[in-house]
Amino acid sequence: MSRPPTIPAEKKLRIVLSILQNEITVAEAARREKVSEQAIGNWKRQFLEAGRAGIETGKSKPSSRERQLEEEVSELTQALGEAAVEIRVWKKSAEGRLGPSRTSR
């Protein structure tokens, strides 16, 4: 049995939208594209589930710029935490040599 041809995502989208707009039936689409009705049904289900996920979260996946900024914030937060620890260590070290400072608590 031969494998059905790979259909580009853009074409699948047009087919699913045509079905949702009642322009064609699932059976018609399957016949035209030479794929099973089950395959068309899977495309439709995947499309609807992805749309539901977008609505439920209120937004789409983060853009590459958003991911880049989130990584940068994470790195800067870590560096800030490390710097704060170093400052505490230096203060403790200075107190040991010079005695408690007026600003230490």
Domain ranges, ordered by start, for the chain: 9-57, 63-105
CB 42, CB 33: distance < 8 Å: no
Across the chain, what does the average pLDDT equal? 86
**Higher per-residue confidence, 92 vs 60:** 92
CB 57, CB 49: distance < 8 Å: no
| Average pLDDT of span 6-17 | 92
* CA Rg value for the chain: 29
- pLDDT bracket for residue 55 (50, 70, 90): confident
- pLDDT bracket for residue 92 (50, 70, 90): confident
